[in-house]
A and B are shown apart, each in its own frame.
Chain A
Amino acid sequence: MKSSLPRTGFLAVMFREIGRIARNRLLIMVLFILPPLAFLFIAWFFSEGVLRNLPMVVLDQDHSALSREITRAMDASPGIRIDHVVNHVEEGREALLSGEAYGFLILPKNMEKDIWQGLAPRTILYVNNTYMISASMIMKDATMVMQSLSADRQIRQQMFHGAMSEAAMAQASPIRVDVHVPFNPYANYFYFLAATLLPTLLHMFVITSAIYAFGSELAHSTASQWLKTAGGRPWIAITAKMAPYTLVFCLWGLLMNASLFRIGVPMEGNAPFIRMGTSSMILAYQCIALFLVALCANLRLALNLAAFYASTAFAFVGVTFPAMGMPTIARIWGDLLPLTHYLRLFVDQTLRGAPVEASMDAFGCLWLFILLAGGTGFFLMPRRMIDPDCWGRT
């Protein structure tokens, strides 16, 4: 069997690489164990889906039918759960500080009486904005509860005075804003986070494994043997070496996309185009890895640079904070990450259902990385392979 394998050429380098992977615990982990673990983690972490029943406390100083109605309505709204009723302000403050509750609602004394007298008593809601997502959820739901309660009451009052129902409704609010979210009908933060976190984790495995694949040949002084197996042709040495990694990560990429759609990320665009985008993103990061190793000729330094490049990416890709809100320098740094362009393409094609043409710029950018970083890498790497000065550096 062994004798039938070619000694030099593309397949020889590829089999050599598969052998190297099989003997290396670290590579097996990064290629086969960590990606599914990371994906499972994300899927499990967000498995609750929408945020529901965030704890809030209430201080009821009124003890009226109305204050009890408000408390009940708050508890019944999807985002809020009334954890308990507190007896004084200090207790509510404690609940906020200890993290027991994200919101603290104060229903003032004589509230019901004051409303009937038209004094517009103020209800106060404190939310803990240290936890921004929970805070905005509670604020949104509490505002909605109060508005619908007071609109109900207004309509009842006016109908009592004899106004017709439709007219009464119009009296209550002459202008109504209907918010449509056509491009992500689910408007679910979870889709958005899961869909961006999975590729972010994937790209870390892609770039570090590629850095290791190229860099370890220099670090362990095996580059000349590598080149010899390729029949002295660096072009073949590089592509054949990368091929198994590209194949494995493209498969993970496909699985990642499939599982995202399976858990409910809407798929409104062009599926083959997304697959091409995922593979191009993987290739782009491998080309950048090649470029970094060729540039540094030092495994450790290249890996440190890649780690910096990849671990700060999540802040710059414009998902936690949109790119349009960033200062120019941050936006430029974000544009220097293939992940930014890939996520644009992905969001276009999944949540927004944009036509393929609208995402061609993002796709083009991915290939620009492949051509520029890959091209420079292919140009520089052959010299590193044959230069013993570049070997054995750690």
Chain B
Amino acid sequence: MKNFMKEWKAEALRIIKDPGVLLLFFGVQIIYPLVYPLPYRNDVLRDIPIAVVDQDRTALSRQLVRMVDATEAVTTAHIFSSFEEARNAFMQRKISGILLIPKDFNLKIHQGRTSPLALYCDGSYFLAYREVAMAVQKAAGTLSAGIEVRRLTAGGMTQTQAMAARDPQPLLTYFLFNPAGGYSAYIVPAVLVLILHQTLLIGIGMVGGTQKEFGDTTSQTQKSSAISRTLGRIFVYLPLYGLHIIWFFGILFRIYRYPQRADLGELFFFLLPFLIATICLALSLRHLFKERVSAMMALLFTSIPILFLSGFSWPVEAIPEPLYSLAQCLPATPGIAGFLKLNHMGADFSTVAPEFFQLWGQALAYFILACLIAKQENQQG
């Protein structure tokens, strides 16, 4: 117990005396959550500018343009008379799509034939492409349905019959758990969990690198056992990151009005093994870093691969099997997956049991590893 307190104090002093490390353990957690959601503040794409090339110039074509313009996602920024002009505007990134209404648009419809519209989308920006294609198809579909129902009722059907005849089997799609399709609520919570993971790895690595590069001014002369040393260090970071959890998921989530379907206690309980596993992994890695800045330089780029490996943006099914298995060793993988299930989908705790036990398994394995390494450190003197 005495050794535990000593080691605890030594590690705490290493942090408090070091402004660089303090920034990683206190600054990042305050600044990143304020900065990172900024791009997504509007949440969904609205009024994406597209150009219309109206070669038909009839009441019907104008009605279509109005209907496209009225959609939430798209605004018809320019009406061009030639396709070439629209193409130039596209190349200058002024518009994200071109809707071409051909000359005989109105005529064909009056003749009872199918009248094709051409929509040229910018496939290079996926989200914009999806929104534009969906909005234009929806507007054209509504207009088309109106014409069809008129034709059918003209043929003697009632309105209801006509509706059923043109769409005999409607498909209703419900988006669960993030119904508005908000991009911010989609991406930021996962990134917050990742921030906990990465700042622990880099921060603890920086403490280790500083010890190696400059010698340890706070080290105790008397050696403590590997277990009490590891435990002492763990209990410096655990309460600190407990506070970060409250700040992230108790306070920030409310400010940002993100979906909260799990109570804080439940999240805390789930993230406890996540924190222990991450801290122990970081304690095991810290001896690899020989310089103060090593951890930052070596680990900075890992955030993006880890985020992708966690399977929330790119579906797990499409990740190569060996890579995915490898990712199971990282606390972030089950940590993010389980967190999203609990918090976004409001799953029962039993649903995240696999992730929960995986995290405890990692915590145990990395704890043993950290102890072994601490022991070696003792032997080296």
Footprint of B on A, CB under 8 Å? 25-26, 29-30, 34, 38, 41-42, 44-48, 51-55, 94, 96-99, 102, 111, 115, 118-136, 139, 142-143, 146, 149-150, 153-154, 166-167, 169-187, 189, 192-193, 197, 200-201, 204-205, 208-209, 212, 299-301, 303-304, 307-308, 310-312, 314-316, 318-322, 324-327, 329-330, 333-334, 344, 347-348, 351-352, 354-355, 358, 394
Additional A-B contact list (20), CB under 8 Å, known A176-B144, A327-B42: A26-B297, A38-B301, A54-B315, A111-B169, A122-B170, A122-B171, A125-B171, A126-B174, A130-B186, A132-B181, A142-B171, A173-B144, A176-B116, A179-B137, A180-B120, A184-B124, A192-B125, A325-B46, A327-B41, A394-B292
- State in angstroms the CA–CA spacing of A99 and B314 once bound together: 13
Q: Point out the residues of chain B lying under 8 angstroms from A48, CB to CB.
A: 318-320
Verify A192–B151 contact, CB threshold 8 A: no
Q: Report the separation of the CA atoms of residues A29 and B210 in the bound assembly, to the nearest whole angstrom.
A: 19
Which of B45, B141, B168: most chain A CB closer than 10 A?
B168
Report the separation of the CA atoms of residues A333 and B38 in the bound assembly, to the nearest whole angstrom.
10
Please indicate the chain A residues that have their CB under 8 angstroms from the CB of B313 in the complex.
Answer: 131-133
Most chain A CB within 10 A, of B133, B151, B301, is at B301
User: Which residues of B7-33 are within 8 A (CB) of A?
Assistant: 20, 23-24, 28, 31-32
Chain A nearest CB, measured from B235 CB (Å):
26
In the bound complex, residues from chain B placing their C-beta under 8 Å from that of A192 are 124-126
User: Which residue of A has the minimal Cβ distance to B344?
Assistant: A130
Decide if B257 is an interface residue (CB 8 Å cutoff): no
Which of B243-251, B302-310, B368-376 contacts the other chain?
B302-310
Output the nearest chain A residue to B148 by Cβ-Cβ distance.
Answer: A174
Contact of B48 with A324 in the complex, beta carbons under 8 Å: yes
Instruction: Judge whether B293 and A299 touch: CB under 8 Å.
Output: yes
Contact B118 A178 (CB under 8 A): yes
CA distance in complex: A45, B306 (Å): 11
Are A303 and B91 in contact, CB atoms less than 8 angstroms apart? no
Tell whether B78 is near chain A: CB-to-CB under 8 Å. Answer: no
CB-defined contacts of A333 to chain B, threshold 8 Å: 38
A-B pairs with beta carbons under 8 Å apart, 27 shown? A26-B290, A29-B298, A38-B301, A45-B314, A51-B315, A121-B169, A125-B171, A129-B175, A129-B177, A135-B175, A173-B114, A179-B137, A183-B90, A183-B122, A201-B304, A212-B293, A315-B187, A321-B40, A322-B125, A322-B128, A324-B128, A325-B127, A327-B39, A334-B39, A394-B20, A394-B214, A394-B292
Please choose the segment from B158-166, B220-228, B265-273 that sits at the chain A interface, where 4 or more of its residues have CB less than 8 A away: B158-166
| Chain B interface, DSSP helix/strand/loop, else mixed | helix
A126 CB to nearest chain B CB (Å): 5
Minimum distance in angstroms from A223 CB to a CB of chain B: 17
Known: A135-B175, A178-B116. A208 touches B121 (CB 8 A): no
Partner of B118, one of A172, A180, A197: A180
Which label, helix, strand, loop or mixed, suits the secondary structure of the A interface?
A: helix
**Chain B positions near chain A (C-beta within 8 angstroms):** 20, 23-24, 28, 31-32, 35-36, 38-42, 44-46, 48-49, 64, 90-93, 96, 109, 112-130, 133, 136-137, 140-141, 143-144, 147-148, 151, 161, 163-179, 181, 183, 186-187, 210, 214, 290-294, 296-298, 300-301, 303-305, 308-309, 312-320, 323, 337, 340-341, 344-345, 347-348, 351
Question: How far is it, in angstroms, between the C-alpha of A96 and the C-alpha of B348 when the chains are bound?
Answer: 12
Question: A175 touches which one: B115, B129, B187, B309 (CB < 8 A)?
Answer: B115
The verdict on A300 contacting B144 (CB below 8 Å), with A98-B351, A102-B315, A120-B168 known, is no
Contact yes or no, A169 B114, CB < 8 A? yes
The residue that B169 contacts in the complex, of A55, A98, A130, A146, with Cβ under 8 A, is A146
In the complex, which residues of chain A have a beta carbon less than 8 angstroms from the beta carbon of B183? 132, 320-321
For B187, the chain A residues whose CB sits under 8 A away are 315, 320
The reply to whether A352 and B91 contact each other, CB–CB distance below 8 Å, is yes
Given contacts A125-B173, A174-B144, A330-B38, contact A118 B168 (CB under 8 A): yes
Asked whether A130 lies within 8 Å of B91 as measured between CB atoms, the reply is no
State A173–B298 Cα separation when bound (angstroms). Answer: 58
Q: With CB as the reference atom, state the residue of chain B lying closest to A51.
A: B318
B128 neighbours in A (Cβ, 8 Å) = 322, 324
**CB-CB nearest in chain B for A316:** B39
Give, as a whole number of angstroms, the nearest-CB distance from B325 to chain A: 13
Given A34-B301, A330-B41: A179 and B291 interface contact (C-beta under 8 Å): no
Which of A176, A300, A311, A321 counts the most chain B CB atoms within 10 A? A321
Q: Is the CB of B298 within 8 A of A34?
A: yes
The answer on a CB contact under 8 Å between A41 and B305 is yes
A204 to B, closest residue via Cβ: B301
> Top 10 closest A-B pairs, CB basis?
A184-B123, A181-B123, A351-B124, A175-B144, A120-B164, A129-B175, A129-B178, A187-B123, A118-B164, A330-B38
Residue in B closest to A174 when the chains form the complex, CB atoms: B147
| Nearest CB of B to A38, in Å | 6
Shortest C-beta distance, B88 to chain A (Å), equals 9
Question: Which residues of chain B have C-beta atoms less than 8 A from A25's C-beta?
Answer: 290
Q: Find the A residue at minimum CB distance from B46.
A: A325
Q: Is the CB of A321 within 8 A of B127?
A: yes
Cβ 8 A contact of B319, one of A45, A142, A208? A45
Q: How many Å lie between the Cα of A354 and that of B89 in the bound state?
A: 11
- The residue on B at minimum CB distance from A94 is B351
Decide: B300 and A311 in contact? CB cutoff 8 A.
yes
Choose among B64, B170, B173 the residue that contacts A127 (Cβ–Cβ < 8 A).
B173
Distance (Å) between the CB of A62 and the closest chain B CB?
A: 11
A146 to chain B, nearest CB (A): 4
Check B173 against A303 for contact (C-beta < 8 Å). no
